[in-house]
Structure 1
């Protein structure tokens, strides 16, 4: 079944959406009358995260940049280039997906997420403009799209997003949401760890502060997308009627983890303070957390604790690890969600 693209306003329909996709809704956002009250909490949390790059002083980073080794500078440039691609792609995906989502409250949240992704891209330009000349800034952004390892690393997500863009159905949307969780919740994390590692050596502390703001945003984005996917699957149990979608989630996250490990070895080998074996474990730990957000079991046995606890000094993940068998829920059960019994109580 194809997804129906929504109209800007359908006043004959109720304000209270009858479904995440292919439902009926006027297009008017009334936060006091939405199907999933928790979404309002997400919206308020996203709004409270508001920040702008110019608030962060880069004065010390300008001096610190000259003190980095050549290998550190190269890794810095490649990771900034990678992050700029991911946030650019995510901005576009969120906007395109929004056109097929019936629920106006979800529209409002996706608009906020898309805006924040654009700010993240602004942040990378802001950092580079503080430490290198314009010609080098442009080269770094060009380097990202011409780096075969970067593109190989991103192809999994691009293929998932392209499948949805070319054939928008409930199932391809569900796949795109899985891709979004991977992008927001796994693909950024070895890069974030690199900047935090510099900061614990008192290097590029301004950049690390900005990255911590970005990570806080991405945590909220991933949390909401997981909630949205759970809602979609509960409303459309046909997507996973035979259990194949659950298997797809496991297989796709495993592919993403292997790509992330390969990338981290490509860009972080030999850097002071980086233990690649620990990084591999950290990536698997993060992937297990994402699966728990989706109510699924860990994929990687033994990776239940953060093997790089020093990262908590810079950014502590405060996500709920409770396992929920939401894939088995029916939409009639899902309707029991209220402000008092959140998603993890189902």
Structure 2
């Protein structure tokens, strides 16, 4: 594979065409005309992304404040560990979106990545917001330390960290593609055992404010995963020398290893949580992996998990199947804006 190191895209080069000649390593003026871009349907993706605007402190956490102390010890422990996990995974995404943008020569990618970066910043804020609502500052800080000092979580994130940092050290198209693979895994699979935990609480009418916030994050991540999968396919199509059987097998191996680590994590963090069937969760992880592979133009690797074994989750978030759920009904029921008197600083 090519080891050609890319230069950062120029901010403005008026002698180049407005429509970029390539996503990475191409020529572009830097001027964005949405009616003259290389991949016209990406404008619709941009519009969907900006339509998802929300803020963490608009979600009313007063019910969760009252309920948290009544959760079982295993539920409390899982709640804090999973928030710690989500914050660890989302933290690098704002920067990674910026890095994609720095090396992309297509200005439409810059704009889409800018929206994704903003949404990832909101996700990070939201984890601080929910924890500040239900636990002390010491417990909040402890949850955010998990990514650094929990052995299971460190093992789970090791490959992600390795490939993200390789992209920083050597921004080749090969490393960009590998980073897209791990971004797809992160956006499309790594979060989902954690999301399932909060949705499981919600179907027992517990911590509904938190699950509502998770629904908004989940909705964003579905769109992010969709765009990154398209960006991966388009970049690979523009660089056919990289589209080899060897690279495809590398992608499949990363998925197999990541699925194994995700199952290990979910069994560790959800093993004592009432209402979660771990065998069902394992099948759901396989299903999510299959789904992301299909979106990336690759084949499924878990033939026994082509359907969602946890269909009850659809009540809490939109999905890619074109089947709308009651997410917006949930939004109208639960999306109660806080005022300055019961916002972030007072919770």
Structure 1 length as normaliser, TM-score?
A: 0.90
Partner of 1:214: 217
Residue 320 (structure 1) shift: 6.8
**1:85 alignment partner, one of 83, 88, 91:** 88
Residue 302 of structure 1 pairs with residue 317 of structure 2: no
Partner of 1:258: 260
**Where in structure 2 are the equivalents of 1:224-235 lying within 5 Å?**
224-235=227-238
Give the aligned length. 320
**Where in structure 2 are the equivalents of 1:155-194 lying within 5 Å?**
155-194=158-197
Partner of 2:49: 46
Gaps of 5+ in 2: 324-347
Secondary structure of the residue that 2:70 maps to in structure 1? coil
Contact 1:269/1:276 (CA < 8 Å) preserved in 2? Answer: yes
Residue 319 (structure 1) shift: 4.2
Partner of 2:117: 114
Q: Which 4+ runs in 1 deviate beyond 6 A?
A: none
Residue 17 of structure 1 pairs with residue 27 of structure 2: no
Secondary structure of the residue that 1:113 maps to in structure 2? helix
Residue 126 of structure 1 pairs with residue 126 of structure 2: no
Residue 153 (structure 1) shift: 0.8
- Hey, what's the Cα distance between the residues in 2 that align with 1:158 and 1:144? 11
Q: More deviation in 115-124 or 91-100?
A: 91-100
- Hey, what's the Cα distance between the residues in 2 that align with 1:238 and 1:2? 16
- Hey, what's the Cα distance between the residues in 2 that align with 1:22 and 1:39? 19
> What RMSD over aligned residues (CA atoms) do the two structures have, in Å?
1.2
- Hey, what's the Cα distance between the residues in 2 that align with 1:319 and 1:17? 31
Contact 2:85/2:146 (CA < 8 Å) preserved in 1? Answer: no
Partner of 1:283: 285
- Hey, what's the Cα distance between the residues in 2 that align with 1:73 and 1:11? 56
- Hey, what's the Cα distance between the residues in 2 that align with 1:251 and 1:95? 27
Contact 1:293/1:320 (CA < 8 Å) preserved in 2? Answer: no
Residue 108 (structure 1) shift: 0.3
Residue 238 of structure 1 pairs with residue 263 of structure 2: no
- Hey, what's the Cα distance between the residues in 2 that align with 1:164 and 1:28? 26
Partner of 1:267: 269
Residue 149 (structure 1) shift: 1.1
- Hey, what's the Cα distance between the residues in 2 that align with 1:255 and 1:317? 25
Gaps of 5+ in 1: 322-346
- Hey, what's the Cα distance between the residues in 2 that align with 1:151 and 1:201? 31
Contact 2:146/2:153 (CA < 8 Å) preserved in 1? Answer: no
Secondary structure of the residue that 2:91 maps to in structure 1? helix
Contact 2:25/2:104 (CA < 8 Å) preserved in 1? Answer: yes
- Hey, what's the Cα distance between the residues in 1 that align with 2:321 and 2:267? 27
Contact 2:198/2:210 (CA < 8 Å) preserved in 1? Answer: yes
